[in-house]
Each structure stands twice: as C-alpha cells, then as structure tokens.
Structure 1
C-alpha cells in the first residue's frame, strides 16, 4: 500500500488524540477485569499511535491484506495495549471492549494471534518475536514486497539470548525492511531491568551487531514520529532499531508514582479516578 493509503492520510485526528484514546481504551479494559498490564499500555501509547497512524501501511477492513506492514507484538502481555490501538484503528470493533479477558472473547488477557484480527503472532515466551520478525522480513524480501516488519519488544527481552541470535541473523541478511521497537521502561517482574541484567551500553550493542540504532524519549510524540521516519528512510542496507525510553503509567500521575508498576495494583475505586485524571489531560 502506498503512502497515500496510510491511515494518517485518511484522518484529521491528531496523534496526541490517538495516544490519549489508546490510553483511555486500555484503562476501560483494565476496569472490566479489575487488573491488567496497564502501566505498559499507558507508557507505550505514544509509540503505538505513531506506529499505526503515521508509519504503518494497513487496511482496517482487511487485516490480512498481503501488502500490509507487519506489526509483531513480541511482548505478549502488552496485549491490552495492542487491543486498544486495534480498536482505535477500526480493526477491532469498540463494542467488544467490555468482553476483554472474558470466556470466548477475541481479546484474551495475553495476546493470541488465532483469536484476534490484526494480531500477527502469539507473543511470549519473551524473546521469540524478533526471530519471527527476521523470518517474515526474509520472506517479504524474497517475494519482492515493499512491506516492512515492525517488532515491538520489551527491555526484559534484551536479556534473552534468542534476541541477540536474531539480531545477528538480521544484520547478516541485510534486512533493511525490519524495524525493531524496544519499549525501555526499566521495569520487570522482579525489579528494574537495569538491575536484573543490564543491557547497557544499549546503542553501542545494537550498532556492534550491525544495526542502525536510535534512542528517543518514547513519550515525546514529535521525537517518536521523527525516529519512525528516519528508520524507514535510512538508505543503508541494514536492520533498524529504535529504543524508546517510556514512563510506566504515563498520563495518570498517581499511578506513575507507584513503586511497583510492572503489574500495577489498581484498587476498585481507583479506575474511575484514573479515567478522571486522564480526562483532565485530554488534548484540545
């Protein structure tokens, strides 16, 4: 699909509003179950808004269209965030939002490609997405497709050996149609990612593996958009990675301040408060 068919060209809704909508939908889904990986969804919303409404080529009414860019959710427990953007993009109907995590729902709490339109892979165990992305990118190359493969992974996946095996393979095959997106929120189940197994110096590592690397503030939409554009336009025949430093629970300050945010605890009476606080920051 050409540039003129990208979703950003079909709508006057700003990326700021898209990101806000994604955050709101994620909170509403979290309220349905009383739990969920809300911190990650709020933090990565700006990246998802720029991906789906600026960078990616897709057709909402035909999620399996052959000419689409592929968006892989390696980090399967971010499913609530992906469902929110798929609804915002019109791939999933919003009236299914109250079914999140229910029996027979198309939106299980951990993402499953066989259930959900627009979900390319079943992500997790962690560290598998980039290897799958390499295979997809190779296949598209051999079909002479102009499509890109985007792989969203967590900073915790940087501690998986399979990630770096895939990184070597991508550089070896000069996969300039592959863009890896790393959500670096510095949180894992057991504590800060940098304290569990530090991947720093991260940019130098990716570059040493033969990748073009950018590192930006993942909650600065202008910077996020510029990074997507630079990755896509890079003339060098090499894979590209963007490391996004994001803030867990972004947009809901009383949740941002919590010490444990990997699976942030939200009390029953706090969902409405979180939505109200988010509403106060709604873009004009």
Structure 2
C-alpha cells in the first residue's frame, strides 16, 4: 500500500533540491524538471525495484530519462534515494562535475543511459526491454518523454517497434506540460491527440493528472498487469509545477531561477503552498 503523504513530501523535497541546484548553477531547465517531479518520485520511491547500494543489480528496473535536459529531477531523486551524497547537487553544470546539463551514465551511479539528443530514449528503452526479455529477467523499463520531444519522427518508429514486438515490460510516460522552448507545443508542431496516436500504434494508453499521486501510482500498477502490449501514460502536467512564479511560463523552460526567485520558491515549497 502506497503512503501517499510520504510520496508527496518526497516530491516536495525533490522540487526544493531542483530549484536550489539550478539557482546555484545559474543555468539549466527549471520548468520541465519541476513538472516531472511527481512522476519521478512515484517511480523511485514506490514502483521501481532498485538498490542504491548495488546500482548494477541485475534484477533492477531501468529508468530512461529521454528528455535529458530535465537532468536536475533525475539527479535530485538519485541523491535522495542514496546513490550519492546530496552535497554533490551544488556542483550542477560546473566544470569537471559529474552532474552535467544532460545525464551521463559513466559519471554517476544509477544513470542507465546518457540522454539529451531528443527522440532517442524510447528506442533505447525498447532495446533494454528486449534484452531483458532475452535474458529471461522479469524487470521493467520506464521511459520519460517530453511532449515537445514526441514531435521527433524516431519516437514513432520506436512506438511501432514496441507494439510489433509486444514489449509489455516497457512503460513510457509523456510529461504533457504543453510547453517547449519555442512556445506551446500545439503552435510549434501539434502532436494531438496523443492518446489516439499511441492507441493507433498498438499501445495500451492511460491519461492521468501527472500531479495526482493516486492517479500516478494506479496507472503504474495497472501498466504492470498489461500483457502483449507496451503501455503509454499520458501525464497532464504544469510546466514549473510547485512554484507559482514559474508555473505555465515558457521562459522557464531553459532558464534558472534568480536568487530572489529562489527565496520565493523555497518559501512556497517549504510551506506546501502549491
């Protein structure tokens, strides 16, 4: 049974670490890191089998952050899970730091795949999931995509592949916050209706509120019961979720908070206002 309040508090902690490290770095992606915090929290603190003391455990579930620019949310959850000391988060994007702007699997334990070239993560997740099947390992693969990212053609080739090979140990999630670097996704290159497209490609599809912890964990649980099909969870989210001055604002896609904005953000997050 999931402890919802525990998960909500962990997501709040993730958001605090995200805004702190981005402010310290002076650059990075605020909006998409914050919008994914609830999803990533549910994966690492509820659903996924993983062991920070043994990051290469053969039976672990795998997580692929296809939208690699949201690296701060991955670094935060790995630190809070115990993969490395939380003090390292303050080195984000510094020269010679292992915490660069996009995750590197050779730098930090717990990172499965180096990502950042958008559109490629779902293909990688397919390969990992197929490899697990060949090795008769029952572990699952989770892949987090951005809604701007799914404008990439390779995503749809990967969607076809996952359906064709009935990769039912794969669960992909779209962080559907409706904004990308150049504006609204629907204006840049409309990908709607996302649900119908993935259904047409042969996927099992759920649409949820990506900030409602009950809905997130229920969808993850249900996805695990689906056989013969991959699952896509379309998680409707808010860019910059958790901090009122960032929410729904496209300029915070790739802009770090100022120190003044950090004070506002920490006050809201510590008081649980959002």
TM-score, normalised to structure 1, is 0.92
**Gapped runs of 5+ residues in structure 1?**
1-7
Which residue is 1:277 aligned to? Answer: 268
* Shift of residue 266, structure 1, vs aligned partner: 2.7
1:13 Cα deviation after fit: 7.3
Q: Which residue matches 1:35? A: 27
Aligned runs of 1:76-91 on 2, under 5 Å? 76-91=68-83
Indicate whether 1:216 and 2:244 are aligned: no
Deviation at 1:225, TM superposition (A): 0.9
CA RMSD of aligned residues (A): 1.8
> What is the rounded CA distance, in whole Å, between the counterparts of 2:59 and 2:40 in structure 1?
20
Match status 1:111 vs 2:94: no
Post-superposition shift, 1:279?
Answer: 1.1
| Cα distance in 2, alignment partners of residues 13 and 86 from structure 1 | 20
Q: Is the 8 A contact 2:209 2:216 kept in 1?
A: yes
Matches of residues 1-284 of structure 1 in structure 2 within 5 Å?
14-234=6-226, 236-256=227-247, 258-264=249-255, 266-281=257-272
> After TM superposition, what 4+ stretches of structure 1 lie above 3 angstroms from structure 2?
none
Structure of greater relative contact order (alpha carbons < 8 Å, 6+ residues apart): 2
CA shift digits 1:174-197 (9 cap, x unpaired) = 100001111111111111111111
Deviation at 1:12, TM superposition (A): 10
C-alpha distance in 2 between matches for 1:181 and 1:227:
10
> C-alpha distance in 2, partners of 1:184/1:78?
14
TM superposition shift of 1:268: 3.1
Secondary structure, aligned partner of 2:229: coil
**Equivalent position SS for 1:252:** coil
Deviation at 1:110, TM superposition (A): 1.7
1:29 deviates by 0.5
Q: Is the 8 A contact 1:20 1:282 kept in 2?
A: no
CA distance in 2, matches of 1:15, 1:105: 29
TM-score by length of 2: 0.95
Say whether the 8 Å CA contact 2:239–2:249 is kept in structure 1. Answer: no
Q: Deviations over 1:234-257 (max 9, x none)?
A: 2x3111110111111111112215
Higher mean C-alpha deviation, range 269-278 or range 185-194 = 269-278
SS at match of 2:254: coil
Q: Tell whether the 8 Å contact from 1:187 to 1:261 is kept in structure 2 after alignment.
A: no
Task: Give the Cα separation in 2 of the matches to 1:169 and 1:110.
Answer: 26
Structure 2: gaps (5+ residues):
none
